[in-house]
Structure 1
């Protein structure tokens, strides 16, 4: 039939078909609202990529009418890490005239940097509201960690809303359209769970700090730093730190997330090294853990200078690699008999699963749901719980090893004491023998010294004795001569007879008396007797002093008369 028509009519017909089909293809999907519903609005958005960052809202609306926008086909919008800006458009129809107000669009992604929300005013002009974590918190439309944009419907007709998003981090748009009451109830429930999660982490930090001081085990302090970094990271990722801690310092909000992440990277590697003692099992793993430790320190300083997007990507890859390394180190330690490493390995295995799922979600390689969105928090909570058991098990094993070491020390000490007692006894016996020998030698030496001294004194003593002997000898000779003279007179006197005349004999006696000078002899003899007596007395004293000095027959100690000893010594030395 078409073949028989003129060419001009065919052309008009084809143009009409093209226009109708185009309008049919780009017929927008409208989000229909009903009272009390909580609707995931992601599938109802259309988007356009603004790579040059130079479009206005009017340009975006024109591009939409020209069919340049693309339809979102998933329940969660995630463009991962991108430098582009994105325009999103949604058409909403409220079918309930009694519930035109108290609606809100919620974007549950607190780390978005820049959000511009456009809505049409009464005169049809576009009104914009600026949001994002690069602006002070008090500029938000609703005091909440997520981005909440109130929506009021003029009537039950279609209402158009446009969003412009740009971020250095992951660009996601998990948009939900709901009323205030359900969102307040849901928010309170979520915030309570987050409060419990943060409370657990905070208590673990304080607990490990207090444990460190009495035990002086560095692993507890490093673990406290690790959990502290994790706490800062999650609080920044979920928007709570920006809401409650540094609401007026949005720049620090992005830094805090990187600082917490770098602190966790550094402390995790150091904690694994200290806890597992990897240097005993693998030098390569120990070197890798040191590498991650220094990498965490480097990331900390780079957070303030390097582009946020680059740091997030590098840090995410580092966390996955580090967790894998730590898990491998734990497995090796378990295989080598480290009992406390079992809990440690299980803890890092759970955390690694959560980190991998989060990374896959950030890079838009895994569809997100409620469980996956919170899997890293769940993994961290389980990790903290398992590491708490691991530290407890390690402390218990340390006590057991300490008790065993003390028992071994006591046994060794006993053996050492016994051996020492035996050696002391042997040494004592040897010393006693030596002392006995020394005493004997000393006695002999003293005796030898005495004999040597006695030999020295002999000459003097002999000389000293010789003098009185000479007195005695000379005195006796003189006494003998005088005695002979007196004896001759006494013999004449004995022969006298009282009955006869003894004149001759008496004359002879007188003659001898005068001849021998008897009158002078008697005093002389007295002097000679005194001299002989003195000599004999002197010899006696010398002999007695010599006997006292030598004491050859006395070996035992006893009381002695010091004065007598001094006197005898002086007597012996008198010749000197």
Structure 2
């Protein structure tokens, strides 16, 4: 019974002490101190520790929520009474887990005695901190049954919030290791995305990837600065830079994210007015970044937070509109910005004391950012795939068009080739044909004689040549004119064509009124028969010209090569010699070379 009574009494004392702003040092790994905090706002920012101890100030109990006063120019004094009810010495770490606070001065009092003091803040050198931590952590030690009073003087141009937790030393280091693991995973994921998309930018030369990589990089630096890790690892001695780094990173992240949105969603083409508005917001961010070194930080940071909300809201609205238009990539974009916008809204409400401070609200924007960049990577990958499909479709269409053009060209070339071949054949025939008579000309005859004589010589075959001359052709021209002479030659040509085999026989005009017949595979007897048949046919025909009618005769010389030296030129001479004999013998006759 007495044990139950003691337990109830202990619970009553704990509740009473919490209500009065004091707390017992419990045997717990982690102990929140929100209810133990009493605070006073020093609007004049002039009170010293001695004045605080001497004056009776209207301390206010904080309650269950994390102390969060938004953006304030005042100095805030915090008071905590912490009792060690045990008979053992107790050692604890007290952590203020909000790294952007400018000045945090801690005074540990035992009654009127100052036992220890710590001076921290992101406007002091990092190495001056009592513990190596991105947040503000200091040790406190209680003697048995000792009551200590902690006074904290806190001032910051940024958001004013003081989340305080008391840790056992082992629990604190385990907690710190978990946080650093999470930060490492966050940075690792961001770096993978930066490197992957950076390589894509180098490979594709698409500026969209450059702006995306920049937005991811500066967003990661922004949250790393906000968590205090940047001051810890990147610039621990750069106090002035650390004071403006967060503002600077937010501005650059907005600029790169805005330009990425403009190019990814093709705002210049699809939404020119929205493109100009976003360019104006990016210009404002650039101006804030430029004046961040000497401008009023507490005003600039609130402006930047507002600009960030406006930019994220615009991106969300543009994404909605693009999805409405049916842009497939805009779906990923809208989802990404929705997640990030939710994170920005949560952390903004947290900084303005409209939402309680906890792990989710303190890291909402960071969680939203990693989800956003992953989703935007999906959006870029989807765009790559769509562009690849479009390029493939375009290549297929181009290939089909090329094939069609190739086929058309081949058909045209083939038709043109046929036309050219026909034209060449026609030209060749014209070049080989006597225009008046339609017979082959002397040039063709000489080529054919050489060809046929070589062939007959190779196989020792017989070949005959006939030389033909119109008897008294000059008198025909004199009596009937050139028209009569031309008609005479045409008539003789028609008889020659009708009297030979074509092919392989060749009938040609040798020149003037002379004609020649080439008869391959024809002996002397056969050649004589052909010559006689043609002579009789011409002698018995009547030639009409300009109502005049007349007849002519021809003389024929025949030469047959049956062996020996096959020489076409000599054969022509021999046939011509036989023709001369026919003329001398009285004309209108056939004479065979070598036969008297």
3-state DSSP of counterpart to 1:95: coil
CA distance in 2, matches of 1:214, 1:238: 34
Offset of residue 122 of structure 1? 8.8
Matching of residue 327 in structure 1 with residue 316 in structure 2: yes
Matching of residue 346 in structure 1 with residue 335 in structure 2: yes
In terms of fraction of residues, the more strand-rich structure is 2
Offset of residue 436 of structure 1? 9.1
- Of 78, 89, 97, the match for 2:79: 89
Indicate if the aligned counterparts of 2:268 and 2:275 stay in contact, CA closer than 8 A: yes
* 1:145 match: 134
* 1:383 match: 372
In terms of fraction of residues, the more helix-rich structure is 1
- Of 260, 274, 294, the match for 1:271: 260
CA deviation digits over 1:198-221, x for unaligned, max 9?
111111111111121112222122
CA distance in 1, matches of 2:105, 2:287: 35
User: Structure 1 unaligned runs (5+)?
Assistant: 1-23, 448-547, 561-576
3-state DSSP of counterpart to 2:142: coil
Q: Aligned-residue CA RMSD in angstroms?
A: 3.1
Indicate if the aligned counterparts of 1:121 and 1:127 stay in contact, CA closer than 8 A: no
CA deviation digits over 1:331-373, x for unaligned, max 9?
2222222222211211111111001101111111212222222
Indicate if the aligned counterparts of 1:32 and 1:95 stay in contact, CA closer than 8 A: yes
CA distance in 2, matches of 1:354, 1:202: 21
* 1:77 match: 67
* 2:594 match: none
Offset of residue 29 of structure 1? 2.8
Pick closer, same or farther for the CA change 1:552–1:189 going to 2, 3 Å. Answer: farther
Indicate if the aligned counterparts of 1:320 and 1:352 stay in contact, CA closer than 8 A: yes
CA distance in 1, matches of 2:226, 2:74: 21
Matching of residue 136 in structure 1 with residue 128 in structure 2: no
CA deviation digits over 1:370-404, x for unaligned, max 9?
22222222211211221222122111111111110
Offset of residue 76 of structure 1? 0.3
Pick closer, same or farther for the CA change 1:402–1:362 going to 2, 3 Å. Answer: same
- Of 347, 351, 360, the match for 1:358: 347
Matching of residue 114 in structure 1 with residue 114 in structure 2: no
- Of 211, 218, 226, the match for 1:237: 226
* 2:548 match: none
CA distance in 2, matches of 1:327, 1:257: 24
Offset of residue 248 of structure 1? 1.1
* 1:47 match: 39
Indicate if the aligned counterparts of 1:169 and 1:312 stay in contact, CA closer than 8 A: yes
Q: Which has the larger radius of gyration?
A: 1
3-state DSSP of counterpart to 1:102: strand
* 1:219 match: 208
TM-score, normalised by the number of residues in structure 1: 0.68
Indicate if the aligned counterparts of 1:40 and 1:75 stay in contact, CA closer than 8 A: no
Matching of residue 35 in structure 1 with residue 35 in structure 2: no
User: Structure 2 unaligned runs (5+)?
Assistant: 1-15, 437-509, 517-567, 570-596
Offset of residue 27 of structure 1? 9.0
* 2:172 match: 183
TM-score, normalised by the number of residues in structure 2: 0.66
Offset of residue 418 of structure 1? 3.3
3-state DSSP of counterpart to 1:304: coil
Indicate if the aligned counterparts of 1:109 and 1:146 stay in contact, CA closer than 8 A: yes
CA distance in 2, matches of 1:344, 1:363: 28
Indicate if the aligned counterparts of 2:21 and 2:35 stay in contact, CA closer than 8 A: no
CA distance in 2, matches of 1:267, 1:154: 55
CA distance in 2, matches of 1:552, 1:281: 88
* 1:161 match: 150
Once the two structures are overlaid, the 10-residue window that deviates more, 106-115 or 372-381, is: 372-381
Offset of residue 437 of structure 1? 9.8
- Provide the aligned length of Structure 1 versus Structure 2: 429
Indicate if the aligned counterparts of 2:110 and 2:148 stay in contact, CA closer than 8 A: no
3-state DSSP of counterpart to 2:101: coil
Offset of residue 440 of structure 1? 11
Offset of residue 240 of structure 1? 0.3
Offset of residue 278 of structure 1? 2.8
CA deviation digits over 1:65-109, x for unaligned, max 9?
3x42222124201111111111111111111221x3321221000
CA distance in 2, matches of 1:71, 1:78: 13
Pick closer, same or farther for the CA change 1:27–1:231 going to 2, 3 Å. Answer: closer
